[in-house]
Structure 1
Amino acid sequence: MPKQILKAYKIRLYPNEEQQIFFAKSFGCTRFIWNRMLSDKIDHYNEHKTELKNTPAQYKKEFEWLKEVDSLALANVQQNLRAAYSTFFKSGFGFPKFKKKGQRDSYTTNNQKGTVAVTNNTVKLPKIGHINAKFPNKINGLIKSATISKTPSGKYYASLLVETVVEVLPKTGSNIGLDLGLTDFIVLSDGTKVANPKFLSKLQDRLTREQKILAKRTAVAKADQRKLSDSRNYQKQKIKVAKVYEKITNTRKDFLHKLSFNLIKNHDVIAVEDLNIKGMVKNKKLAKAISDSSWSTFTTMLNYKAEWYGKALIKVDRWYPSSKTCSGCGHLLTKAELPLQVRSWSCPSCQQKNDRDINASINILNEGLKLATLKTVGATGLA
Structure 2
Amino acid sequence: MTKTMSQLPYHYGVKLRVFPSTEQKRLIKRNSDASRFIYNQMNGMNNDLFWLKQVKIPITIVLDRIADLTARLKKPSTAISNIHGWLNHPDFDSLMKANAIKNYKTAWKLFHQVHRAGTPKFHKRGYTQTYQTSCLYSAKVTVPTMENGSVRLIDNRHLQLPKLGYLRFKELPLRILDRAKDIRIGTTTVSMDAVGHYFVSLQIGSEYSFAVKRPVVKSKVGIDLNLDNFLTDSNGQVIDNPRYYRVIKGKLAKAQRKLSRRARRAKRSQRRLSEAKNYQRQRLLVAKLQLKVANQRKNFLHHVSTTLIKNHDLVVAEELRSKNMLRNHVLAMSISDVGWRTLLNMLSYKADLYGRKFLTVNPQNTTQTCSHCGYVMTGKNKLTLADRKWTCPSCGTFHVRDHNAAKNILAKGLATL
TM-score band by shorter chain is: over 0.9
Do structure 1's residue 333 and structure 2's residue 377 form an aligned pair? yes
SS for the counterpart of 2:294 is helix
CA distance in 2, matches of 1:174, 1:43: 57
Measure the CA separation in 1 of the matches of 2:415 and 2:379: 25
Question: Alpha-carbon deviations, 1:69-88, whole Å to 9, x = none?
Answer: 11111111111111111222
Percent identity of the aligned residues?
A: 36
Give runs of aligned pairs for residues 118-129 of structure 1, distance below 5 A.
118=153, 119-129=155-165
* TM-score, structure 1 as length reference: 0.93
Q: Could you tell me which residue of structure 1 aligns to residue 276 of structure 2? A: 231
1:89 shift after superposition: 2.8
Alignment of 1:1-383 (within 5 A): 4-48=9-53, 52-53=73-74, 55-67=76-88, 68-93=91-116, 94-102=118-126, 104-113=128-137, 114-118=149-153, 119-138=155-174, 139=176, 140=179, 141-164=183-206, 165=209, 166-319=211-364, 321-334=365-378, 336-337=380-381, 338-372=383-417
Q: Partner letter of residue 155 of structure 1?
A: H
Q: Distance in 1 between matches of 2:172 and 2:245?
A: 25
Shift of 1:103: 5.2
RMSD: 1.6
Query: In the TM superposition, what is the alpha-carbon distance from 1:298 to its structure 2 partner?
Result: 0.5
Q: Distance in 2 between the 1:4 and 1:318 partners?
A: 33
Q: Distance in 2 between matches of 1:177 and 1:103?
A: 41
Residue pair 1:344, 1:356 contacting (<8 A) in 2 also: yes
Structure 1 runs not aligned, ≥5 long: 373-383
State how far apart, in whole Å, the 2-side matches of 1:19 and 1:104 are.
16
Distance of 2:87 and 2:238 partners within structure 1: 54
Q: What per-residue deviation string (whole Å, max 9, x for no partner) do you get for residues 48-94 of structure 1?
A: 26975452221111222223311111111111111111222333341
The aligned amino acid for 2:80 is: Y
Matched residue, 2:63: none
Matched-pair contact (CA < 8 Å) for 1:144–1:161: yes
Name the SS of the counterpart of 2:399 in structure 1: strand
Q: 1:335/1:65 Cα in 2 relative to 1: closer, same or farther (>3 Å)?
A: farther
CA distance in 2, matches of 1:149, 1:42: 28
Shifted more, 93-102 versus 39-48: the winner is 93-102
Q: Aligned-pair distance for 1:219?
A: 1.3
Give the SS at the match of 1:8.
strand
Per the alignment, in what secondary structure is the counterpart of residue 12 of structure 2? strand
- Provide Cα deviations, 1:95-144, integer angstroms capped at 9, x if missing partner: 11111112542111111121111222112111121112111523342222
Equivalent pairs counted in the alignment come to 369
Deviates more, 1:22-31 or 1:157-166: 157-166
Q: TM-score normalised to the size of structure 2?
A: 0.85
Mark the runs of 5 or more structure 2 residues left unpaired by the alignment: 1-7, 55-65, 138-148
Deviates more, 1:197-206 or 1:137-146: 137-146
Asked if 2 retains the 8 angstrom alpha-carbon contact of 1:37 and 1:54, the reply is no
Is the alpha carbon distance of 1:108 and 1:347 closer, same or farther for their aligned partners in structure 2, counting shifts above 3 Å? same
Determine if contact 1:34/1:81 at 8 Å carries over to the other structure: yes
Tell me, yes or no, if the aligned pair for 2:363 and 2:409 is still in contact at 8 Å. no
Residue-by-residue CA offset, 1:311-361 (whole Å, 9 max, x unaligned): 111111132x11111111111111542112100000111111000000000
The secondary structure found in structure 2 opposite 1:275 is coil
Larger deviation: 171-180 or 301-310?
A: 301-310
2:320 aligns to what SS in structure 1?
coil
For residues 248-295 of structure 1, the C-alpha deviation after alignment (integer angstroms, 9 at most, x for no partner) is: 111111111111011000001111111121100111111111111111
